[in-house]
Structure 1
Amino acid sequence: MKSTLLEKTGFFPDYYLNVVNQCTPEELENVGKCKTDYDRVKYLASLPFMKSSDLKIELDFNGKSIDIATKLKESGNAAFKAKKWLDAMILYSQSYIALPLEGNDDFAAIIVANRSAALYHMQKYEDCLKDVARAFKFGYPKDKMYKLYEREAQSHLALKCNEPAIAAFKKAVTAVDDANLPVDRRSKTIQDFIVMVKLLEKDLLTNKKPVKKTDLLSRTVKDEKEYMSESVKIDSNEAEGRFGVAVRDIKIGEELIVENPGASVLLQQYSKTHCQHCFIRVAIPVTCPKCIEVVFCSEKCQEESLKTYHKHECGILQTLWKSGASINCHLAFRIISSKNYDYFLKIKDKIDVKLSQEEMRKLSSDDYLKVCQMVCHADIRSNSNFFQHTLMARFLTLCLLKEDFFKGVENQEEAFVFISSLMLRNLQFIQYNAHEISELHYQDTKETTVFIGAGTYPNLAMLNHACDPSVVRYFRGNRVHVNAIKPIASGLQIHENYGPIYTQERCSERKAKLKEFYNFECQCDPCIEDWPVYDELKADKIRFRCDSDVKCRNIIDISPDCNEFMVKCFSCNQTTNILKGLKVMQDIELIIRTGRRLYESKEFSKALQKFIDCLRIMDEVLAPPFQDYASCQQNIKDCFIHFGNCYNL
């Protein structure tokens, strides 16, 4: 992921210049010359003007207002009466988000109950049931409770779940006693509910095996266990650092990694359209009790967020966004805010201890002892770079201080320096190890991959780059999946891609970008051999793999008009029969056409299998680069991406 410390706008650049103007050249250099991050933070804090120069940070809860919530609810009621169900649902959601929840349970109950009615008319029955459950939880008025039970029953009926419908109708009968209804209407209402109960009890569907009950308010994105295939080994050397190696032959399509983020952050523009915790797109939001900056997909995600990072971010997000700090800075902040001070204090003496790959593999992706092992490249940073990063670390830690992160800590000054040093460390390794989290937007045949957030994935971060990668990554929520997109022979490295692809950018352009952003000289095959971009791949040569008995890895370039079927390999001095390869070129045309037809029909699983079969057949006798091979790889990537975050515009 391309890394920057600051966005184009915000108040931090002016703050930085103000501090720099008060420093002597020697003081600026000394920050960079310090031996450790702890020393850098402590030295910066010791400068005489520093405390008086600190930004005055205030919490911001603007937008939460019972008056605003009331106006939005009234607008929602007007839309509902006009039978504009979608407008009503949106307005009720906005009212719910604007409502300060503390002390306003009765108001919240009315809003979500009204929203459940709009959802019922939109035939969104599962979402309707969730809001009915929320209304019960908030304490919906007893005199209207029978209406809510009836809506619950009718929603279950629409979902063909008779048993819960019967239970809801029975509760509705009892709830009528608390309703302010005339005697004749009360009697008729009760009779109507009883008739429904009797009809449903006679229904044959009732006698079928009941559906397993689940907590509606706990439903969230499917929980998938973290996974790293046993076929992947992490190795290292001085020249290449850490990298993934195949310990056996890996087939096209194999899933190699499923990883939850160590930490993840949404871009500001998606903070009210996606769940802050799991990143799935939210239609029926659950709100934060105090601020309007975030939404959640479920009470489960809300609870997890409020007990971890959001309790240290609620009210401070506007400050972070307005500062101009990049999403990488927010990610560095969230790595800290997701835990508490005691957590970091307990592991303080272990942070700089280098772990073996076996020890790393046993740790979860959010364990700081695993996260902090990622490369920082401190040895190549300039003094000015260190100064800017150290000042940013101090600012971010001041935000934590305002959020009572250090509440109850005895020596807060020492604790502040310690956490600031970790923040500085985070800023450094995130620059080289953060991954963009994406969502596929599509409309008709137009598809665009959109950057919605960023996360740290310590297992994925161990894979090195290649301009012709061997894996594709895609996201379900903020969980990353990594699958092979070409065969990987045992003993070879497993490569992902950091941005530049050989089919799209020339070698010199790719190498320059990788050097600028990641500080390494790319030595992948496309760079060493200077493969052409896609449009310049020659059609007048076919690259055959030598199929001799000595397992020669040589590639033999053949012209399509070659009249010989047996060609000598200059490496092993044996002959290769190219007739098989020529037949493959003919056979794959039909497979590719079938795969593309399935893709256009949105049958992505079937299309994926066709493209995998096609690439497997090609790879046995032919070698990249050539257009059909590159196209087939891209088709496999596109299919996998459709299994992740998608949004139909």
Structure 2
Amino acid sequence: MSLVEKTGFFPDYYVNLKNSHLDIFDVEVAKIAACRNDYERLTFVEQFPGVRESDGQLQVKRVYVGKDADTAAQLKEKGNQAFKAKNWFEAMVFYTRSYLALPADKASERAIILANRSATLFHMEKYDETLIDVKRAIDLGYPKDLIYKLYERQARCYMVKKNYPNTIASFKKCITALDDAKVPADRRSKLSLDAMTMIKMLERDPQTVRQAERQKKLGEPKLTMAIPEEKEFVSDAVRIDQSCSEGRFARAATDIMVGEEILVEKPFVAVLLEKYSKSHCDNCFIRTAIPVACPKCADVLYCSEECLTKASTTYHKYECGLLPTIWRSGASVNCHMALRVLAKKSLDYFLNIKQDIDKELAIEEILKLPTDDYRRVSHLERHEKTRPPSNFFQHALMARFLTKCLAEAGYFGASPKAEDLETIGGILLRTLQFVQFNTHEVAELHAKKADSNEKTVFIGGGLYPTLALFNHSCDPGVVRYFRGTTIHVNTIRPIEAGLQIAENYGPIYTQEGREKRQAELKKLYWFDCTCDPCLENWPTFDQLPTDVIRFRCDGPKQCRAIIEVPATCNDFMIKCVTCGESTNILKGLKVMQDTELMTRTAKRLYDAGDYAKALNKFIDLLRIMYEVLAPPFPDFCQCQQHTKDCFLHLGNFYNLN
């Protein structure tokens, strides 16, 4: 990803700076090559002609827009009108927008809007969501004379969920709350009688006692829209090695079967794209219909109180009010990620580790560091020795801008010290460099059942310290998918012990020719790809030959060389030119016949939405085909793609219907 991804004031600032000193600009910029480290590069940029004088163009300012009580009231009224018309979904949307627009000091109004939204959710039969909003409204101090409504709604939800102890408890609260209700006596009596009748009926139900005992023993699961915490995992079959030619890379310590999960990793840092800031949780990236608002800004939302707390106690306390500045600057998501790396930790943390950042560590030492230790990522590839001066200069300018953003947010305290600004600026510059080459696009699968159209959409960026050590191949051995921001990596072909476990950085051989792939990889990642598809110039999928079958040698010497046989060949015993032994290709032909039926079954399961069973079938297919046939060939490529599609359905998924 580039430094800037769209128009904004930062690229304009750079162009104006260059034009104001056009006669000396390139010559002066070239002098940054003499700097020995990132701190010196920051000092160089700070003293560069015209830089300080142009600071006004950076527009670094904390602004809070979108919070307005009058706007919230208007949106609430639109929600009320939609509710009366029984347009439940429309009402829910307006109530959500009203809630997000309310200022922090309007707690009672927020409680009322959340209660209204819970009513629409109840009519939509979204009972878990209803219960969550009911609790939120109660916690915010919903009016005492109306709170009986919430307890009754709560009881009805628990009743539908067949949670009888909680149903009884909520009805009892409803009866108590009726004492404060401003309703006619006959209405109060009827509500109370209905509630008491339900309580007595449920108390006699044997299930109620059993449920109460189970809840007492196991506790009651908390209702939340937050994505469940996943345990991080690195398979024992994965070993991280290092060499002069390959750098750091993943190798198979043992034979790995197709379909094995070899890595589950949370991001060191992840940032949501601005485009999805009003539909997805800023912390965990899951799409949310009943969001929690930041009390101060209207720029982001959260799926739950848990995510709001995690964000507001770390990075968001510095990003709050600054996001419009970052977005308007045109800075890429990589730049935002670099800022968040610093914002997640305190100033003192970085001041304390400053002297250790440049220390050379063996890969074994790095892997033993805590997962949130900056040194886990600070040694990732950044091509420091091959960066041209102009690139360093632009990145240093961006680091300086991001440092100013942190200063505006109070990261350095009321009176920032010059040496602290220099330290953080230097660390930001280093971070911008390694983030550039090690970021993964966090994806969400969008599906439209009406026309069976599916596509993977980029919703944010994440930095995964372990996965970042995997090398690239245009024929990757793994596929990755996301649950929230957590990445899952599974194999899509067998990998023998000792061989590299390669992932894919973007271009794959089935879709793009070698020349285009290598040009793209050189531009984005600054290396020349030497994977098998590039060395052997494998054809793209639409050019794969269908008149040649690639068998593996199955002779006594088990050389496993590839034997290419024309589809029209009538011989069953084929001599291997590598080992000189003969292979009986009848086994391979039989496999091809068997896989046709298995493929139809797997596709039928996929089309029916049974992705787990379809996945198992496709994995079996890949295993069987790989035993006797050698890629590249069309059936294997298609089966791999189907397997990838199944995995994607297990992760972030959105039905456009």
TM above 0.5: yes
| Counterpart for residue 517 of structure 1 | 524
| Counterpart for residue 586 of structure 2 | 579
Q: Relative to structure 2, which stretch is displaced further, 301-310 or 324-333?
A: 324-333
| Counterpart for residue 149 of structure 2 | 147
User: Deviation of residue 214 (structure 1)?
Assistant: 4.2
User: Deviation of residue 188 (structure 1)?
Assistant: 3.0
Amino acid at match of 2:18: V
User: Deviation of residue 201 (structure 1)?
Assistant: 1.1
The structure 2 residue matched to 1:238, chosen from 244, 248, 256, is: 244
Helix, strand or coil at the partner of 2:502: strand
Question: Matched residues in 2 for 1:357 and 1:31: separation?
Answer: 30
Map 1:430-469 to 2 at 5 A: 430-444=435-449, 445-469=452-476
| Counterpart for residue 211 of structure 2 | 209
Question: Matched residues in 1 for 2:95 and 2:11: separation?
Answer: 39
Helix, strand or coil at the partner of 1:547: coil
| Counterpart for residue 281 of structure 1 | 287
In structure 2, runs of 5+ residues without a counterpart are none
Is 1:128 the counterpart of 2:130? The answer is yes
Structure 1 residues 270-311: Cα deviation after superposition (integer angstroms, max 9, x where no partner): 001000000000111110001111011000000000001111
| Counterpart for residue 48 of structure 2 | 47
Question: Matched residues in 1 for 2:50 and 2:221: separation?
Answer: 56
Amino acid at match of 1:8: K
Question: Matched residues in 1 for 2:88 and 2:204: separation?
Answer: 34
The structure 1 residue matched to 2:504, chosen from 492, 497, 505, is: 497
Helix, strand or coil at the partner of 1:347: helix
Amino acid at match of 1:198: K
Is 1:599 the counterpart of 2:601? The answer is no
Map 1:56-455 to 2 at 5 A: 56-101=59-104, 103-210=105-212, 211=215, 213-214=219-220, 216=222, 218-407=224-413, 412-444=417-449, 445-455=452-462
Question: Matched residues in 2 for 1:566 and 1:187: separation?
Answer: 91
Kindly indicate whether the alpha-carbon contact (under 8 Å) linking 1:251 and 1:487 is maintained by their aligned counterparts in 2.
Answer: yes
Is 1:635 the counterpart of 2:633? The answer is no
Q: Output the aligned Cα RMSD.
A: 1.5
Question: Matched residues in 1 for 2:365 and 2:201: separation?
Answer: 62
Q: Relative to structure 2, which stretch is displaced further, 64-73 or 248-257?
A: 64-73
| Counterpart for residue 608 of structure 1 | 615
| Counterpart for residue 29 of structure 1 | 30
The structure 2 residue matched to 1:17, chosen from 11, 15, 27, is: 15
Using structure 1 for the length normalisation, give the TM-score: 0.97
Structure 1 residues 16-70: Cα deviation after superposition (integer angstroms, max 9, x where no partner): 1222345534431122431111100012113364323212411111110111111
Question: Matched residues in 1 for 2:319 and 2:559: separation?
Answer: 58
Question: Matched residues in 1 for 2:631 and 2:48: separation?
Answer: 58
Kindly indicate whether the alpha-carbon contact (under 8 Å) linking 1:475 and 1:481 is maintained by their aligned counterparts in 2.
Answer: yes
Question: Matched residues in 2 for 1:98 and 1:339: separation?
Answer: 29
Kindly indicate whether the alpha-carbon contact (under 8 Å) linking 2:272 and 2:282 is maintained by their aligned counterparts in 1.
Answer: yes
Helix, strand or coil at the partner of 2:359: coil
The structure 1 residue matched to 2:479, chosen from 432, 456, 472, is: 472
Amino acid at match of 1:640: F
Is 1:6 the counterpart of 2:13? The answer is no
User: Deviation of residue 359 (structure 1)?
Assistant: 2.3
Question: Matched residues in 2 for 1:588 and 1:219: separation?
Answer: 41
Amino acid at match of 1:421: G
Question: Matched residues in 2 for 1:261 and 1:74: separation?
Answer: 41
User: Deviation of residue 356 (structure 1)?
Assistant: 2.3
Structure 1 residues 514-563: Cα deviation after superposition (integer angstroms, max 9, x where no partner): 11111111111111111111111111211111123333131111112223
Helix, strand or coil at the partner of 2:425: helix
Helix, strand or coil at the partner of 1:83: coil
Question: Matched residues in 2 for 1:507 and 1:366: separation?
Answer: 38
Kindly indicate whether the alpha-carbon contact (under 8 Å) linking 1:33 and 1:383 is maintained by their aligned counterparts in 2.
Answer: no
User: Deviation of residue 358 (structure 1)?
Assistant: 2.3
Kindly indicate whether the alpha-carbon contact (under 8 Å) linking 2:4 and 2:331 is maintained by their aligned counterparts in 1.
Answer: yes
Helix, strand or coil at the partner of 2:211: coil
Amino acid at match of 2:12: D
User: Deviation of residue 72 (structure 1)?
Assistant: 1.3
Using structure 2 for the length normalisation, give the TM-score: 0.96
Structure 1 residues 135-172: Cα deviation after superposition (integer angstroms, max 9, x where no partner): 11111111111111111111111111111010011111
Helix, strand or coil at the partner of 2:501: strand
Amino acid at match of 2:195: F
Amino acid at match of 1:96: Y
Amino acid at match of 1:199: M
| Counterpart for residue 492 of structure 2 | 485
Helix, strand or coil at the partner of 1:449: strand
Question: Matched residues in 1 for 2:651 and 2:107: separation?
Answer: 36
Query: Among the aligned pairs, what percent are the same residue?
Result: 53
Kindly indicate whether the alpha-carbon contact (under 8 Å) linking 1:231 and 1:246 is maintained by their aligned counterparts in 2.
Answer: yes
Question: Matched residues in 2 for 1:99 and 1:215: separation?
Answer: 30
Helix, strand or coil at the partner of 2:146: helix
User: Deviation of residue 589 (structure 1)?
Assistant: 0.8
| Counterpart for residue 549 of structure 1 | 556
Kindly indicate whether the alpha-carbon contact (under 8 Å) linking 1:259 and 1:365 is maintained by their aligned counterparts in 2.
Answer: no
Amino acid at match of 1:18: N
Question: Matched residues in 2 for 1:616 and 1:184: separation?
Answer: 72
Kindly indicate whether the alpha-carbon contact (under 8 Å) linking 2:232 and 2:265 is maintained by their aligned counterparts in 1.
Answer: yes
Amino acid at match of 1:178: D
When residues 216 and 87 of structure 1 are mapped into structure 2, their CA distance, relative to the original with a 3 A threshold, is: farther
Question: Matched residues in 1 for 2:424 and 2:558: separation?
Answer: 55
When residues 219 and 646 of structure 1 are mapped into structure 2, their CA distance, relative to the original with a 3 A threshold, is: closer
Kindly indicate whether the alpha-carbon contact (under 8 Å) linking 2:79 and 2:90 is maintained by their aligned counterparts in 1.
Answer: yes
Structure 1 residues 408-454: Cα deviation after superposition (integer angstroms, max 9, x where no partner): 67x62111111111111111111110000111101121101111110
When residues 374 and 142 of structure 1 are mapped into structure 2, their CA distance, relative to the original with a 3 A threshold, is: same
When residues 215 and 583 of structure 1 are mapped into structure 2, their CA distance, relative to the original with a 3 A threshold, is: closer
Question: Matched residues in 1 for 2:560 and 2:585: separation?
Answer: 15
Q: Relative to structure 2, which stretch is displaced further, 42-51 or 80-89?
A: 42-51
Question: Matched residues in 1 for 2:294 and 2:645: separation?
Answer: 36
Kindly indicate whether the alpha-carbon contact (under 8 Å) linking 2:59 and 2:325 is maintained by their aligned counterparts in 1.
Answer: no
Kindly indicate whether the alpha-carbon contact (under 8 Å) linking 1:217 and 1:299 is maintained by their aligned counterparts in 2.
Answer: no
The number of aligned residues is 645
Question: Matched residues in 2 for 1:365 and 1:22: separation?
Answer: 45
Kindly indicate whether the alpha-carbon contact (under 8 Å) linking 1:552 and 1:572 is maintained by their aligned counterparts in 2.
Answer: yes
